Structure 1
C-alpha cells in the first residue's frame, strides 16, 4: 500500500520498522529525568507556602482564613480547571515547549511571591503559580506515553510520580532552613531562580517525540487532532474511563483525608510532641508516599503484562482491601510511637492507586487526547480528593467532638474506612470492564 501525507512522513516510526516493543524512545531516560525534575519543582513550589505560614503571618498579619483561601479548596478548583484548557493545548502543540513555558511561568510567579506586601499581591502571585503548575503533570504524562512502550509505562509513570513525595519532603526541609537563615522572602526568590534555570534546560535536552510512536496501532502516530467536545463525548461513552475517574476520586478522598489530618490526630489524640512531628512524621510521610507510588506502579506493570489492562485496576483494589483493616487497627493503638508505626502500612497502601490509574489513563486515551483526558481524570483527583477529603474529616470531627473530645479526629478518620471499601469495589468493577473489553476485542481504542 502506498503511504502519503503525514503517514508517509512518519513511516520510520511505525512499530514494524521502528523501535522494538520492549524498548524505549532514544534518550527516554534523560527525558524522564528532566520531567521528574520539573515535576519536583512543581511540588516544592506548591509546598513552601504551607511551611511559611507562620513567618508570613507575623510579617504581613494574614488571618488563617486568608491562608485557607490560598491553599485550600479554592486553589484546588482553580488549578484543576486551568489544567483542562492547558491540556487541550498540549494535545495540539509542542509539549516540551509548553511544559518549559509553564515551568518558567510558575517559577516567575514563585519569585514574585517574595515581593508580596499584601494579601492581594500574594493571592495574584499564587494563582499565577497555579496557572503554571496546571501545565506540568498532564502534558508530562502525555510525553512519557510517547517515550516508553505500554509494557514500561506504569514503571516510568511510577518513577515520575515519586516527584510528589520527594517534593513534599524537600519543600518542607529547604523552606524551613532557608527561612531561618535568610528570611521567608528569599525562599521564594531562590526557588523561582532554580525554576527559571531548569525551564530552558528542558528545551535544550528533551526532544518532542512523535505522538503514538510507542503504540501498537500504526495510525496512532498520526492520529487526528480531536476537538474537546469529541473527547468529552468519548469520556461519557467509555465506561472504563468513567470508572477510572471514580477510582481516582475515591482513592484521593481517602489519601488526602488521611495524610492531611494524621499530624493533628497524632498531636491531639496521641500526644505527639511538635519536635517529634518535624523529625519523624515528615520522614514517614515522604517515605510511605514514595514507597506506595513505586509499589503501585511496579506491581501494576507486572500484572498488566501478565493479565492485560485489568491488572492496572486489580492492584489498587487489593491495596484498598488491605487498607480497611490496616487503618482500623492503626487507629486503635495507643501512644504516638505505636500509632505512627501502625500507620506506616495504611499510609503506604493509600497511595498505591496513583501510578496504576495514571498509566491506565494513558492506555485508554488516544495519543491525540492523552493530555486532555489526563486533565479530566485529575479533576476527580483534585476536586473530590484534595477539595473534599480533608473537608469531610474536619466536618465529622467537629460533629462528634462534643461526645469524643480530643479523640474526635480519630473517629472521623474511621469514616474513611467505608470510603476505602467503596474504592476497592470500584477498582474491581473497573478490572471487570477492562477484561470484558479485552475479551470482546475492544482492548485497544479505535482511531478513526
Structure 2
C-alpha cells in the first residue's frame, strides 16, 4: 500500500504535510458534524415540540454517551499500532450517522444517531492526536497541532454559517444528510495514504492508567480541558440561538454571523499560536510555551462577559472575535503538550483521557446545563433567559485559567 512515510526522517520542516493536512480536513468535518446541530436547535425544538433542556440533551448528552464509554478502549487500540485504521473507521462512522440524522422522525432515533456520531468521533480523537505527534518532531509539535486544528476550526464556519444557511433554505433534515456524506471520501483517503507509525516495543507493556494520572502536568491539562470545554461547548451549542433570541436574527443570519465570527477568529488564532509557542519554547523552554498559553486564555475571558451582556450586535460580535482569537492562541500549545508530557507509546491513551474528560463531559454537561439554566430563568427574564445563562458560562470561563497557571509553574525556569 502506498502512503506517506511513518515517523522519523521528517526533514527540516519537522512535520509531514500529507498527514497533518489530512488530519486537519478530517477534524474540520468533525467540527461540522458536531456543531451543525446547533444551527438546527430551534427548528428541531419546534418540529418535535421539545424544551431547551431536551434539545441540549440530544445535542450534547446523547453525543457524549458512547463517546465517554469507548474513547479509552479506542485509545488503547490506537496505541497498539492501529491509529491510522482507527482514525479512518471513526470518520466513516460519524459521517454515516450524521447523514442518517436527516432520516430520523423521533427523539429515540435521533438520539441513537447522535450516539453513533459520538462513537465515531471517540475513535478519531485519540488516534488523530497520536498520528499528529508521531508525524511531527517535539520542536515543531505546537506548530503541527496548530495547523491541524486551524484547518479543523474551518468547520465552525461551515458548520455554523453554512449550516445555518442550509437549515433556513433546505431544512434541517437535508442539512444533516449533506454534511454527513461529505466525510466518506476523507475516510477512504486516510486508508490509502496514511501508514501506521512505528511504535516502541514497550507499548506491549504499557503503564497503568494510575501511572498516567500520577503525571502532574497531565493532570493540570485534564482539569483545564474539563473546565474549559464545559463552557466552550455550552456557548457554541447555544450561540446561534442566543443571537436569534437576543438580536432577532434568522437562523441563517445568526449562523452566518456567529459561525464566521468564531470560525475565522479560531482559525487565525490557532494558526498563529502554535508557531509563536514553538518560538517562545526555543528561548524559554516548555514553561515559556505554557505561560504563553495561560496569558492568552486569561486575557480573552473578560471580552466574553461583554459579548453576552451588551445589547449592541456590532459590539457583541466584536467581543466574540476577540475572545475566540485570543483563546485559540493556546490551542496548538495545549494539544501539543498532551503527547509531549507522556511516553511515546502512551500518546493516544493520554489524549483519550483528555478527550474523555474534556469533550465527553464538556459536550455531555455544557449544552444541557446552560439549556436548563435558560429554562429556569425564563419566568424571570423571558427572552433574555438564554443571555443570562450564557453570562453564567462567561463567568465560569475564568476557572480553567487557574489550571493553566498551575501547569506552567510545574516546569523550571
Pairing 1:24–2:14 present: yes
Contact 2:99 2:176 in 1 (8 A): yes
Rounded to whole Å, the distance in 1 between the matches of 2:272 and 2:371 is 30
2:126 matched residue in structure 1: 138
Alignment of 1:204 with 2:183, yes or no, is no
Equivalent residue, structure 1, for 2:204: 225
Match of 1:91 among 79, 87, 94: 79
Once the 2 structures are TM-superposed, how far is the Cα of residue 74 of structure 1 from its aligned partner? 3.6
Aligned position for 2:401:
424
Distance 1:14 1:130, change over 3 A: closer
The aligned runs of 1:296-335 (5 Å cut-off) are: 296-330=273-307, 333-335=310-312
Moved more, 426-435 or 411-420: 411-420
Name the structure 2 match of 1:33: 21
**Once superposed, what is the RMSD of the aligned Cα atoms?**
3.3
Question: Which residue of structure 2 aligns with residue 291 of structure 1?
Answer: 268
Q: How has the CA–CA distance of structure 1 residues 125 and 359 changed in structure 2, closer, same or farther, with 3 Å as cutoff?
A: same
C-alpha change, 1:44 and 1:280, in structure 2 (3 Å) is closer
Using the TM superposition, name which of 106-115 and 199-208 deviates more: 106-115
Shift of 1:136: 1.1
Q: Distance in 1 between matches of 2:62 and 2:113?
A: 15
Q: Please name the residue that 1:380 is paired with.
A: 357
Q: 1:9 is matched with which residue? A: none
1:78-126 CA distance string (max 9 Å, x none): 3233211111110013221221122222233334334434433333333
1:224-373 aligned within 5 A? 224-227=203-206, 230-269=207-246, 271-274=247-250, 276-330=253-307, 333-373=310-350
Q: Is the 8 A contact 1:80 1:375 kept in 2?
A: no
Structure 1 191/295 Cα, relative in aligned 2: closer, same or farther at 3 Å?
Answer: same
Is the CA contact (8 Å cut-off) linking 1:231 and 1:369 kept in structure 2? no
1:100–1:200 contact (8 Å) kept in structure 2: yes
Going from structure 1 to structure 2, the CA distance change for 1:401 and 1:353 (only over 3 Å counts) comes to farther
Post-superposition Cα deviations, 1:286-321, rounded to whole Å, max 9, x if no partner, equal 112223323332332222222222133212210233
Structure showing greater Rg: 1
1:63 corresponds, among 44, 50, 69, to 50
Distance of 1:401 and 1:235 partners within structure 2: 44
SS class of match (2:196): coil
Equivalent residues of 1:254, 1:389 under 8 A apart: yes
Residue segments in structure 1 that go unaligned for 5+ positions in a row: 1-12, 212-220, 440-448
TM-score between both structures, scaled by the size of structure 1 = 0.78
The answer on whether the counterparts of 1:155 and 1:298 sit within 8 Å (CA) in structure 2 is yes
- Deviation readout 1:330-355 (Å, 9 max, x if unpaired): 45544222222233212323343332
CA–CA distance in structure 2, aligned partners of residues 331 and 48 of structure 1? 21
SS class of match (1:346):
helix
Tell me if structure 1 keeps the 8 A contact 2:290–2:407. Answer: yes
Structure ranking higher on relative contact order (CA contacts 8 Å, 6+ apart): 2
Q: Distance in 2 between matches of 1:66 and 1:400?
A: 16
- Identify the range of structure 1 (153-162 vs 112-121) with the bigger mean alpha-carbon deviation: 112-121
Larger mean CA deviation between 411-420 and 309-318 belongs to 411-420
Matches within 5 A, 1:141-180: 141-175=129-163
Offset of residue 371 of structure 1: 0.7
Where in structure 2 are the equivalents of 1:173-188 lying within 5 Å? 173-175=161-163, 185-188=173-176
* Partner of residue 433, structure 1: 410
Q: CA deviation at 1:324?
A: 4.2
Looking at structure 1, the residues matched to 26 and 380 of structure 2 have their Cα atoms a distance apart, in angstroms, of 47
SS of the aligned residue for 1:247 comes to helix
Counterpart-to-counterpart distance in 2, 1:14 and 1:45: 30
Report the structure, 1 or 2, having the larger helix content: 2
Identify which range, 124-133 or 388-397, moves more after superposition: 388-397
**Superposition TM-score, scaled by structure 2 size:** 0.84
**2:288–2:408 contact (8 Å) kept in structure 1:** yes
After superposing the two structures, state which structure 1 stretch, 323-332 or 233-242, moved more. 323-332
Contact 1:23 1:149 in 2 (8 A): no
Quote how far apart the aligned CAs of 1:198 are.
2.2
